[in-house]
Amino acid sequence: MVEAVENEFKLTTDAPIDEDLILKRLSGYLDDHGIDYSEKVKSSEDRYFDSKDMELDSMDCILRRKNSSSGRIKLTIKRPLTNDSGMMSRREIEKRSDGSFEDLCAFSEEQFPGIMIEEEPVLIIRTTRHDFEYDGIKLSFDICTYVDGEDTKDFHEIELESMDDSTECDFDRIGIVDFIRTLGFETTVLSKFKRGIIWKSKNSF
């Protein structure tokens, strides 16, 4: 089991975009600033779970099971710390999983004793992620789809995450967050999951 602090700026858009152009603009910005970075692409299906009364959501916490394209299955719990100057800080706890509901419930019980988790996920998010990693920073361009039964919604998100286990918010030293805004993305302090629950509630009417 691994525990760390996650610090990130999130920017998102629901508008149609040229994904190849966005990737080219992001890599070009890093190149123009002399940044030496590595790239990788991965995909996943994230299933989010909660109690019948959405007790975790009411605490701004999440319980997630991630099935990655590599075949790995990982469980994650996130708890809020701060939202400072547009940056989200959350306490993140992760562990490998065998994918069973029993393993999920045992993991949840360790952190949220007495909360009964429902077996059906409350939300599914499918993501293809393009990562650029440099100087302890991860810049991610996510191509995402919310799934709620037969209903779906596509959206895009760019995250700038510090891998340092602190809550310092000055890690964007090359000004890339401001540059991302010029690409049509807006800053948000709501997680993918929280925005997905809002979409799901509106979609149910």
Mean pLDDT for the stretch of residues 47-62: 97
Q: Could you give the percent of the chain with pLDDT greater than 90?
A: 84
User: Does 155 have pLDDT greater than 70?
Assistant: yes
Q: Which residues contact 54 (CB under 8 A, 6 or more apart)?
A: 122, 197
Query: Against a cut of 0.85, is the pTM above it?
Result: yes
The single residue listed with the structure tokens 């030496």 is: 36
Nearest to 187 by CA among 83, 35, 59: 83
- Residue 204 has a pLDDT of 67
Residue 169's pLDDT is what? Answer: 61
| Residue 11 to residue 7: CA distance in whole angstroms | 14
End-to-end Cα distance, the chain? 40
Location of structure tokens 């991302």: 180
- Span 97-140, pLDDT tens digits: 999 999 999 999 999 999 999 999 999 999 999 999 998 899 99
Strands (E), the chain: 2-13, 38-49, 62-68, 73-84, 87-96, 123-134, 137-148, 151-162, 186-188
* Neighbouring residues of 113: CB distance < 8 A, sequence distance ≥ 6: none
Q: Is the pLDDT of residue 205 over 60?
A: no
